[in-house]
Amino acid sequence: MYKLLIDKMKTKYNNPIDYYIMINNEWCSVNNLIGKSISISWENIVICSCGRKMKKFYRQNFCYDCFWNSPEASPSIFKPELCTAHLNIEERNLEWEKKFQLQPHIVYLSISSGLKVGVTRKNSLVSRWIDQGAVEGIAFAETPNRYLAGKIEVFLKNYVSDRTSWIKMLKGDVTRVDLIIKKNELSSYLNPELKKYLLKNSSINNINFPVKKFPEKVKSIVLDKNNQFKLKLIGIKGQYLIFDNNKVFNVRRHKGYLVDFSIT
Ligand SMILES: [Zn+2]
């Protein structure tokens, strides 16, 4: 049995995707656990990224202080169009925000449950697609900062959703469209001010996840409601572990939970 502080799984773009978690200071392949039983039990201890230990988080894996004061929980994290670092205006911590926002960003189209639009830093594009469980993705535009990418995304949301149905994604119930055709169609709607950021020759990336069998229904395990389980792992998609009996576990949702973890 190991003590494990749950964090987002690390991924590597292979066919299929490779997933890793840190156990005892060593990266351990999660793909190798497929077919085995995993047990997790949680004793009401969570640890915020600031180091504070408590019984439960205030909101969204943050303690009270971090939720209201940390730049990692600021409104522009969820709405890039609210970014202001390019104007030298501080939201919560200008130095942090400049580093985070003033770097190349990509507006992308991907297919997770269906077509969606999103924004991410250029250096995390493929890992973003993997984390969302997207089976295909294409870069749409590249901007010098997060604000402009957000502006393009807001415009594209008139035509394309920015949401994923995680249930459909996990069931492998995916509505595919031709991303090249969609990209060309959406490009034609952009005004010249935004059009100059369009990427002309981007290609489709296909993503294949290590899933033996997709669940027919999806029942989510939440440790706050059900603090221990032992189930056989049958696949990994996005940031979800898929178990037999149609059970799924959202790893990212449990970031900061301190658990006992064992493999049998
Ligand atoms: Zn905190």
Structure tokens at 45: 């201890």
CA of 66 to the centre of ligand 1 (A): 4
Minimal CA–CA distance to 137: which of 79, 81, 183? Answer: 183
CA of 253 to the centre of ligand 1 (A): 16
Give, as one character, the DSSP assignment of residue 62: B
Structure tokens at 136: 């295909």
Per-residue pLDDT of the chain (264 residues; tens, 9 = 90+): 999 999 999 999 999 999 999 998 899 999 999 999 999 999 999 999 999 999 999 999 999 999 999 999 999 999 999 999 999 999 999 999 999 999 999 999 999 999 999 999 999 999 999 999 999 999 999 999 999 999 999 999 999 999 999 999 999 999 999 999 999 999 999 999 999 999 998 999 999 999 989 999 999 999 999 999 999 999 999 999 999 999 999 999 999 999 999 998
pTM comes to: 0.95
187, containing H or E segment: helix 179-187
CA of 93 to the centre of ligand 1 (A): 15
Q: Compute the Cα dihedral for 149, 152, 155, 158 and give only its sign.
A: negative
Q: Give the C-alpha separation, 235 to 232, whole Å.
A: 9
